[in-house]
Amino acid sequence: MKMTMDEAVARINALYRKQKTVGLTESEKEEQHRLRQHYLAAIRRSLKAELERIEFVDEPGDAKRGYLH
């Protein structure tokens, strides 16, 4: 089942709260790790896309697109 990002964040938070109170089973620890990795990958993709849209302008009309090039 594919989770939305909001659902993944809610599940990450729920697992965190459970970890702090009663602890997690091994399968819950694995789920928490997978969800965190998925979340971080999405954040990295979003940040990279945002940086790629930045235009640096040195002279009027001389735009240089992309931060990562």
Containing 9, the helix (H) or strand (E) segment is helix 5-21
**Which CATH number covers residue 15?**
1.10.287.540
> Which two three-digit tokens encode residue 57?
């302008």
Domain that holds residue 50: 5-65
Confidence tier at 1 by pLDDT (50, 70, 90):
low
3-state helix, strand, coil in the chain (%, to 5): 65, 15, 25
pLDDT tens, position by position, 20-49: 999 999 999 999 999 999 999 999 999 999
pLDDT at 60 over 70: no
Question: What separation, in Å, do the N-terminal and C-terminal C-alpha atoms of the chain show?
Answer: 36
Q: What is the pLDDT of residue 58?
A: 72
Q: Quote the tokens at residue 47.
A: 């940040």
Domain count, the chain: 1
